[in-house]
Chains A and B, each alone.
Chain A
Amino acid sequence: MLNRLLYTSRCAFSSTGDALVSDVRELARLSAERNAKAQLTGALIHVRGSFVQVLEGPPAALEQTFERICCDFRHDEMKLVDVAPIQSRAFAGWELALLSAEQETALSLREDLDEIRFLIGINAREAISLMRRVLREQAAVA
């Protein structure tokens, strides 16, 4: 049994600029390590001072991790957009892929991330498939 959850929040890191970018990268790296142990996969999007995160995995581990996220004061205005059972992982292989538009990013990626942020409130499924497509493209480029 697998569940997927999707939430948005506002970045409340005390750092700015390059320091912020590296702080978020460090956060994503640590989270990915923890997710690997908990058999979770997902992606974190950082765009225009907001976070969009999707996480998928066994329900118990997912809830535990979500509670830890809820206890983190480095973001606020948390909104749980969706929690639902899924057949298979959309982000298999990504313990926590980070997509950030806060650093030097190609214009097309920036547009895609804006689009995802916009889509979240309207159609979560679309947003997730767009996230997946963007990740694939990024992986292909790298």
Chain B
Amino acid sequence: MRVVTCLLQEHDLWFVLLSVLMCGVGAAVSTTLFQRTLNEQGSSRLLWCFLSAVTAGASTWATHFIAMLGYRTHVAVSFDGGLTLVSALVAIGGIGAGLLIATSPRRRLASVAGGGTIGLAIAAMHYIGMFAYHVDGIVTWRPAYVLASLLLVCGLGVLLVDSLRRRRRWEDRLVPGVLLAAAIVVLHFTGMAAFSVTPIAGAPASANAQALSGLAIAIAVVGLLLLGMGISTYLVEAGARSFSRKQLAHIAMHDSLTDLANRHHFSTTLDEQCAALGRNGRPFALLMVDLDRFKPVNDTLGHPTGDAVLRLVAKRLQLAVRKSDLVARIGGDEFAIIAFDLSSLAQAEAIAGRVVEILSRPFLVGGNMAELGGSVGMVLAPGQGLTGEELVQHADIALYAAKRAGKNRYCVFEPEMMEAMQRRRHLEVELRRACMREDFTVVYQPIVDSQNGTVTGAEALLRWTCPGRGEVSPAEFIPIAEDLGLVSRIGASVLRQACEEAASWSAPLDISVNVSPVQLLDPRLPQVVAQALAESGLSPERLELEITETALFGDDEAALRTLTLLRELGVRISLDDFGTGYSSLSYLHRFPITRIKIDQSFVRRLPEDPGSASIVRAIAQLGESLELQITAEGIETSEQLSFVALHGCNHAQGYLISRPIKAGEFAEFIRTGAASLAA
């Protein structure tokens, strides 16, 4: 009761309002800074603690001092400057100390000791301030009120620290502010209620009201300025932090080179979309984009140019899709697109088409021109997959199909691709294993002299039986072996087997072995051949290597070098499948070729088809004049055999003579002297 009357009757209301304003603003700013201090670590915690203590101490002191100035006495008043300053410093130091204790990891100690210290600091400030307050009258103290004020302020201090340490909802941030304001107000007015002045009769009652209000306003302004500094420091720092946090979030979600979404962002978005499918989510498409021919750009023009190209690719992709779609870079030259909210397959295909089109256009970077191109695999959700993993897998399969189909195009996923893919995966695994164990068989197709039907040799043909899939045609597994980089090894294995086999034959017949374009480009080929000959003891003149025109088409300098070395070994070279490729006559002239094999597609139409007949005749004549041997492949009828024999083909090969047969059978075939198969 005494507190209320003290407040209402003994204080000037304007001063009270000013001090309430000071107190409220001070409490709000101070608790914000307190919170920040508690959340900090290490040395920056000390700095924040200092700022908080100065702000809170100064505002508490200002609140007290303004309220004191508003205390109505009827006697003259003066202040002891030194003690007043001490009271302000006590507030700052005490609050700082309390705050430091409040950061202790032990919760109870933090609340009780920290809160208590803050409370006591406020009380000490008040009572020291009161000692600095000199009145010309008789001062009486009411100990009960003093004690009550101490208990109340300490209790509120404990509650304050406790509420600060609790991480709660945003609106609860008001609570500490209210508690601090309450602590200051309650202490002040309870403390003032403990105090009373009785004027001494006859002393001049000359309180200078005007001077006091000027002082109050000055202190309020200085206090508010301090608070303003405190809060602006906080806000500037918080702004910078939120900016750097946003920047960090951006860095975490984006690719630094292209500023596209990164793999993480992409996966998260894809999973979100898939999760939304269950609820009424809209269909969307996933496009996997792979750049074609990017590696050569990096290799020949350098990484800086490669990076510049990737940046252009990123910009182009964003132009090719709709604004709302997500474009991500998920690997070196791999990109992914999520096209949201699709109404039809046609819409998705239009986007894929634009992506392929825009990537097929030339890139001009730093004076260099790069022709890239892109392959796209597309899958639609929910129709072709429900989970992110499934969609990515299916899109990759479609992408693979697009690449197999010749790149620079898009493919939409189809379930059949899965089977093809599984077969291919299986073949890849088994092919590697077979390659390790040299698990290939070689069969031999006899070749005869077309004039008298004597067997002059055989062509070694590769056969592979895949466990679980049966016999696989070379047309299927050789390209896979090429992709896996196994062709040279397989080729070497066939060569070795064939040479060994031929060396064991009872008659010195010829053996021809196919050499793939990849093998021919391998500079180790002459060494491999020499080794196979040395190990088997086969004389080089009996070995003939069959190459195709496509092998000569690429790097013909390298091919010429290799072929020359092979010829120097004494090995002969024949040109296989002649007439089907580019059939440049300059090859016959430039390369050390000893034989031409006429492709079976011409032989098959003999002798009725006049075109084929002319071609076969022409090639035979060409062989004669260039002094090349000629073999006709694919002889199936005796008419065909007579035709090629008549027109000067030296040798013949085909089902009419014999299918490819096992090594043992062929050896037997020679031994039994069944040297003549056909007449």
Contacts and interface: CB of A to CB of B under 8 A. Distances in A.
Interface of A: 3, 5, 7, 59, 62-63, 66-67, 70-71, 73, 76, 78-80, 83
Interface string B303-334: 00000000010011001000000000000000
Interface stretch (B178-186, B357-365, B611-619): B357-365
Given A5-B364, A70-B361, A73-B358, 14 more contacts: A7-B362, A63-B366, A66-B364, A67-B312, A67-B315, A67-B364, A70-B358, A71-B315, A71-B319, A73-B357, A78-B361, A80-B364, A80-B369, A83-B364
B668 to A, nearest CB: 61
A75 to B, nearest CB: 10
Contacts, number: 36
Nearest to B316: A71
Contacts of B361: 70, 78
Contact of A70 (B316, B354, B367): B316
Nearest to B318: A71
Size category, B interface = 10 to 19
29 contacts: A7-B362, A59-B367, A62-B364, A63-B364, A63-B365, A63-B366, A66-B364, A67-B312, A67-B315, A67-B363, A70-B316, A70-B358, A70-B361, A70-B362, A70-B363, A71-B316, A71-B319, A71-B358, A73-B354, A73-B357, A76-B357, A78-B360, A78-B361, A79-B362, A80-B362, A80-B364, A83-B364, A83-B367, A83-B369
The 5 closest A-B pairs by CB, nearest first: A80-B362, A70-B361, A78-B361, A63-B364, A71-B319
A63 B366 CA distance: 8
Residue in A5, A66, A70 whose Cβ sees the most chain B Cβ within 10 Å: A70
Residue in A5, A7, A80 whose Cβ sees the most chain B Cβ within 10 Å: A80
Contacts of B362: 7, 70, 78-80
Contacts of B315: 67, 71
A140 B491 CA distance: 70
Contacts of A66: 364
Contacts of A79: 362
A3 B367 contact: yes
A53 to B, nearest CB: 13
Contacts of B363: 67, 70
Contacts of A67: 312, 315, 363-364
Nearest to A82: B369
A74 to B, nearest CB: 12
A79 B354 CA distance: 17
A84 to B, nearest CB: 10
A5 B357 CA distance: 21
A59 B319 CA distance: 24
Interface string B330-365: 000000000000000000000000100110111111
B329 to A, nearest CB: 18
Residue in B312, B319, B364, B365 whose Cβ sees the most chain A Cβ within 10 Å: B364
